[in-house]
Structure 1
Amino acid sequence: MPPKTKAAGKGKAPAKRKLAEEFPPGEVLTDTGKKSWKLGAPIGKGGFGLIYLADPNSDKPVGTDARYVIKVVKQLPAPETCSLSKWITHRLKHLGVPRYWGSGLHERGGKRYRFMVIDRLGTDLQKKFEECGRRFPRKLVLQLGLRLLDVLEFIHEHEYVHADVKASNLLLSHGDPNQVYLVDYGLAYRYAPDGVLKEYKEDPKKCHDGTIEFTSIDAHKGVSPCRRGDLEIVSYCLLQWLCGRLPWEDRLQDPAYVRDAKIRGQENISELMSSCFSSQDKPDEIQRFLEEVKSLGYKDKPPYEKLRSILQSGLKSIQARDDGQLNFTAASVKVSTHTPVPGRVGSQWVCTEVVVFVSQRTAEDSGADGSPKRKKRPTKKTGEWA
């Protein structure tokens, strides 16, 4: 980590965005490939627009069994795209990013809207986490970690970082409960445009960007997102999924406190683990994962294979393997002194595919260097981690 500097400020909350107006069922949109799509009922909203059930245009109304969804947003520039086919063919049978089917512009009432079509997805992992009593089985957590490494390595190799990994941004497939997808690229950031890495620079005006309990220390300090930040966020997710809560979740209304708690945790990872687990239940692989991420510099390329091997060793230690089956049966994990705190169920996902890493923010939504200004406001909780 870079040398510690004077504590950054809390920053100001951005102005509330105006979502696209709701379109009536049956509205027809035509993408850039001249294919027409019919909208069904809206099923959710994200930070940038509304999400509708959709199907290819026909005489039939769009039913509740629609295979596609369309995200409609207002006044955003064209998305950038990249291909998944080579990656999947040569490395994996499945990569957890939504499949892109088309995009385009639509005019209504003198206003222009941009839209994108992707596969319909199912429930998010935050809902599953709550249903499981805020514990995931160790095997499942390690499987999810492995899948996130695959997704993030793909995104990182295309010069972007996600910057907002969390359970509510991980959705199960609509048809296959063993497939999970990382969604919501509203905070995605191009960390290396044309291969040139961004410099480390703290900016008090951009402090605490992201989702407060998971966001990286860099983001707390107003530093533009980077690859190590994504992996730091993943490590906090793994911790929470295993032990039920993070030590700083008691005071999410105080971003500076959360930042300092994370810095203390990075400085003494063993103590952080002790605050989350009883001595006999500490998962060694999670501590090793945290230590590996801590060793990364701001510009460093993460050792994805080494991180995978750490998680694989965790599976081996419990006589398990990544068999492709996601079992959400509640885990019987013992925690040291912490009582689970009811968590936030995430808002509806923002329908942006892996091909839409950036170019979704207007100048009003981002800083001069392309870094996002959007901040997720914390949910107030009581208590304290000393």
Structure 2
Amino acid sequence: MAPRRNKLPASLPDGFIVTDTNKKSWRLGKKLGQGGFGLIYLASPDCDVTVPNDAAYVIKVENYENGPLFCELKFYQRAAKQDDVNKWIHRHNLDYIGIPRYWGTGEANYNSSYRFMVVDRLGADLQKLLKDNSGRLPAKTVMQIGIRMLDVLEYIHEHEYVHGDIKAGNILLHTSNTNKVYLADYGLSYRYWPNGKHKEYKEDPRKCHNGTIEFTSRDAHKGVAQSRRGDLEILAYCMLHWLSGKLPWDQSLRDPSTVLASKTKLWDDLPESVTEWSGPEDGCRALAKFMAEVYLLTYSQKPNYAALKRILLKALDSMGTNLSSPLITLDARSFRKLSTGVRKKTHIQKCGNKTEDDCEYTQNSNLLNPCLSPKTIKNYSKKTTRNLSTDDKRNAFDPYRSTCSMQADLYSEVPSIHKPLRALTVSATQDYKAAMDNSPWYTVPNNDLRRRQESLNEPDLYSQDRQNIYKYGFMLPVLLLMIYCLIYVL
């Protein structure tokens, strides 16, 4: 028999009142949205007035026969009792745990039977922040969210459950304190430790590739029941995606077997696979180390959460920030400059009417043409290296070389008789040499640039030609006069 498909419930009218199992009534407000299997409404315990737009609660409604909301209810009732959460926070010296608070559940009838659950209302999800920031987040923010998610996972793992579906869409900000993040949607949560015994490792072809294909664990690809290491593996994929804006298997999502093979290769080639994929971005080395620790876990082994958190905390420290600093949400224009979480103090020059964001910052004291924007340098570098050979492309222009090369190009075309421009050319050359001496990315300039530099130290050929004309132009009449005297006088 074919499996029964979950379906969305019909919309409930505004003002509809439901009563939970504790005999507490809740009034529904406007519909906020929908998940994979249910609808979400604003809610209020004050049933005599219209539910305000800033209501503090939401109600998730699903058809009674649907499974995800039932699984989520069981998780909250068994593992997320508020007293247990409060005790855990106090015992582990935490300021909070990112698990939405559960308020009640019940059944309702409106042309059909429904199950509902009341939880705290939260703010925007992380997927929206990714969309607003060109699919990426600053390394500082990624490390902070990773640590907060480890706090959540440690708690739910110690209470016999795993989440199984960690992703940006299920991580939400607090409505009033955007420095707090919460892991929501426990519809795919799984009780991996029932009756004090871990589930056995057993591959089941009928359950292969469960979860969100981009982030699901290798165990889930094989149909194995979810485990603690699976949650950490999913979190690692998420962090890699937030840092780099992409995953190695993004183009193969319609072929789960290829995705599994790509994930397996990523783990087998650690740490190089992560650093090569993400480049020299801040946080990538820490993520590679994080993944190396997860790679050593067996299926039923308890992770060392403290050690994993220390890896990410150390990365934050290296960026000059810490866990308690504000989360940074940036637009695409400012993302590049704040990807490390803080802007280091550097030598800054004013650029006329330009703002500081339009300038190029550098720690080198010989700041070259600060008004050249990064975009200008990047475009120039692409144009200059377009027709180069493979070997020449290895000497690709870094920020110092791009700036100085542009200055040399601009001034070397000017006739040398114009002394002010000539002085600028020489000054640009001197700045170039100083920058190359102090630059950690220094490579030998290509032949065209070397010849251009050498030509700057040669004599002024135009002026020399003019002197030759004067000299020989004066000598010629004298010579003719001497010949005339020799012929007619003698």
Partner of 1:99: 101
Q: 1:26 and 2:15 equivalent?
A: yes
The letter of the residue matching 2:6 is: R
| Cα distance between partner residues in 2 of 1:174 and 1:320 | 24
Could you tell me which residue of structure 1 aligns to residue 373 of structure 2?
none
Q: Residues 172-191 of structure 1: matches in 2 within 5 Å? A: 172-191=173-192
Is 229-238 or 77-86 further displaced after alignment? 77-86
Change (3 A) 1:14 1:255: farther
Deviation at 1:324, TM superposition (A): 4.4
Secondary structure of residue in 2 paired with 1:53 = strand
Question: What per-residue deviation string (whole Å, max 9, x for no partner) do you get for residues 341-371 of structure 1?
Answer: xxxxxxxxxxxxxxxxxxxxxxxxxxxxxxx
CA distance in 2, matches of 1:302, 1:239: 20
Give 2:50's aligned residue: 61
**Which 10-residue stretch deviates more, 274-283 or 17-26?**
274-283
Query: How big is the shift at 1:306?
Result: 0.4
CA distance in 2, matches of 1:159, 1:194: 9
Distance in structure 2 (CA, Å) of the matches to 1:233 and 1:58: 41
Alignment partner, residue 32 of structure 2: 43
Cα separation, partners in 2 of 1:280 and 1:65, compared to 1, 3 Å = closer
Return the structure number with greater helix share: 2
In 2, are the aligned partners of 1:273 and 1:282 still within 8 Å (CA)?
no
**Counterparts of 2:173 and 2:283, CA distance in 1:** 28
Alignment of 1:280-291 (within 5 A): 283-291=284-292
Residues 274 and 282 in structure 1, CA contact (< 8 A), matched pair in contact too: no
- Give 1:85 deviation, angstroms: 1.6
Alignment of 1:264-279 (within 5 A): 264-279=265-280
1:355 counterpart residue number: none
Q: Contact between 2:64 and 2:114, CA under 8 Å: does it hold in 1?
A: yes
Alignment of 1:155-234 (within 5 A): 155-234=156-235
The two structures have a TM-score, normalised by structure 1, of: 0.79
Contact 2:28/2:43 (<8 A) preserved? yes
| 1:212/1:255 contact within 8 Å kept | yes
Which has the larger Rg?
A: 2
C-alpha contact 2:31 2:41 (8 A) present in aligned 1: yes
Give the RMSD, CA atoms, in angstroms: 1.9
Question: What amino acid is the match of 1:53?
Answer: L
Q: Which amino acid aligns with 2:97?
A: L
1:325-349 CA distance string (max 9 Å, x none):
1111254269xxxxxxxxxxxxxxx
Distance 2:58 2:299 in 1: 36
Change (3 A) 1:33 1:120: same
Q: Which residue in 2 is equivalent to 1:383?
A: none
Q: Tell me which of the two structures has the higher relative contact order, counting C-alpha pairs closer than 8 angstroms and 6 or more residues apart.
A: 1
Structure 2: distance between partners of 1:128 and 1:328 = 7
Separation in 1 of the partners of 2:281 and 2:109?
A: 61
Deviations 1:136-184 (A, max 9, x none): 1111110000000000011101101001101010011122211111011
Q: Report the Cα offset of residue 15 of structure 1.
A: 5.2
Q: For structure 1, which segment, 38-47 or 144-153, has the greater mean C-alpha deviation from structure 2 after superposition?
A: 38-47
**Is contact 2:164-2:188 (8 Å) kept?**
yes
Q: Aligned equivalents of 1:154 and 1:277: distance in 2? A: 30
How far did residue 112 of structure 1 move?
Answer: 2.8
SS of structure 1 residue aligned to 2:58:
strand
- Distance in structure 2 (CA, Å) of the matches to 1:274 and 1:259: 20
Paired residues for 1:1-386 under 5 Å: 16-75=5-64, 77=70, 79=74, 80-81=77-78, 82-83=80-81, 84-91=85-92, 92-109=94-111, 111-279=112-280, 283-329=284-330, 331-332=335-336
2:275–2:285 CA contact under 8 A, matched in 1: no
SS at match of 2:59: strand
Q: Which residue of 1 aligns with 2:402?
A: none
What is the CA-CA distance between 1:275 and the residue it aligns to?
3.8
Which runs of 5 or more residues in structure 2 are unaligned? 341-490
> CA separation in 1, counterparts of 2:271 and 2:47?
59
Q: Which amino acid aligns with 2:28?
A: L
Deviation per residue, 1:242-277 (Å, 9 max, x gap): 111111112111111110000011111133214422
Say whether the 8 Å CA contact 2:139–2:282 is kept in structure 1: no
Structure 2 counterpart of 1:94, which letter?
Y
Aligned-partner Cα distance in 2 for 1:126–1:54:
24
Residues 250 and 210 of structure 1: CA distance in aligned 2, closer, same or farther (over 3 Å): same
